[in-house]
Amino acid sequence: MTEGPRPRPTLRDIATALGLSVNTVSRALGDKDSVSAATRAAVQAEAARIGYVPNTLARSLVLGSAMTLGLVITNPSNPFYAQLISSIELRVRAQGYSLLLLVTDESVENEQRATEALLRSAVDGAVVVPVQAEWDHWRRVRDSGIPLVFVNRDVPELGCDMVGVDYERGSYEATSHLIAGGARRLLLLEEDLPITTTADRITGFRRAMADAGLKVSDDQVRAVPTKRYDSLALPWQPEEAYRFAQTLLTDGHPDGVVTGNDYFALGLLRALAERDLAVPRDVAITGYGDHPYAAYLQTPLTTVRLPAAEVGTTAVDLLLQRLKAGAERPRKTLIRPELVIRASAPDRQAITTDR
């Protein structure tokens, strides 16, 4: 009894089976009134019997909405973005929309292609983590009437909604915490991407230093050379920070290091261990991100926890609001991250030797 997959049932199949018009069937299924209870019951029964599933394509075409949102993201392997994807998908689905996923890998070309796809697919809106190097293609999307919500990184030129993390504040708090713990010769180890998140963290670092009356020379803010655009790879490798830290520690060492992500902290920890520098006794360090392993390192990592789920949920809500409300002036929201204090940079009193 192997039959090939028959063509999927349509409204007409139900209609002819029941001797009704396609239209009536449509209304019966659509839960509109103006259909007799009996008809509705019959239609629904038949629909269930033959396994009718509405064709979203046709529906979207006439309704002018695909009930689909786009998510354009740089790198799912970044734990922050992974959580973002989850929270966004959950919220989008809960609101009855579908989610189209586009991955850009920090590449402008990929992002441009992504905008083409968004336009062709006629998504109702999109949540976007922009590469930030160029944004003309985003203007085009916005101008075609597709609302955009930028996440994590903003493109202020476009006047779209934005939901992000207050990276500056997180960095400020981490830096201040190290200073409060007694560190004076501080270092900031940052990503070398031309993005605002990195810039914001640098600002926070400098501000904390200034507030503590500490000068910041240029070589206290260092960018770890990273391989970019390496698709399928991790966003940043501990390895890169490790190698870089090795070179940093050849003459002297800082007594506090703020890193731009937990991976860097991981590499740094190894470099420090190899030079017999104890954490936090000789060098206190903070990470950024609170990745799952951070709490479970031999020296648990003091780090900045990012509110990924809240960011994602807020972004979707903002987008859906805009879909309904239309043009208002753009809303920008920064959600505050949380400094999680652990052994790699404990509270002032708690500093002890760990050997």
Positions in the binding site for a copy of itself (CB under 8 A): 4-8, 51, 53-58, 60-61, 66, 71, 75-77, 79, 82-83, 85-87, 89-90, 93, 98-103, 105, 113, 116-117, 119-122, 140, 143-145, 231-232, 234, 237-239, 242, 263, 266-267, 269-270, 273, 291-293, 295-299, 308-309, 327
**Structure tokens given for 276:** 């017999």
Residue 37 DSSP SS3: helix
Burial of 245 (0-12, 13-18, 19+ CB in 10 A): buried
Span from 24-32, 163-171, 229-237, 272-280 in contact with DNA (CB under 7 A): 24-32
Minimal distance in Å, beta carbon 211 to a copy of itself? 33
Instruction: Collect all residues with Cβ–Cβ distance below 8 Å to 58 and sequence separation of at least 6.
Output: none
Burial of 163 (0-12, 13-18, 19+ CB in 10 A): buried
Span from 55-63, 72-80, 142-150, 256-264 in contact with DNA (CB under 7 A): 55-63
Span from 11-19, 71-79, 104-112, 330-338 in contact with DNA (CB under 7 A): 11-19
Name which position in 2, 4, 34, 353 contacts DNA (CB under 7 A). 34
CA dist., res. 257 & res. 183, Å (int): 9
Closest CA to 139 of 120, 155, 162: 155
Helix (H) or strand (E) holding 127: strand 125-128
Minimal distance in Å, beta carbon 6 to DNA? 11
**Structure tokens given for 147:** 């609302």
140, interface contact from DNA, a copy of itself, none, CB < 5-8 Å by kind: a copy of itself
Helix (H) or strand (E) holding 285: strand 284-286
Alpha carbons within 13 angstroms on the beta-carbon side of residue 149 total 28
Name which position in 1, 3, 4, 19 contacts DNA (CB under 7 A). 19
Residues that bind DNA (CB under 7 A): 7, 10-12, 19-24, 26-30, 33-39, 54-55, 58-59, 61-64
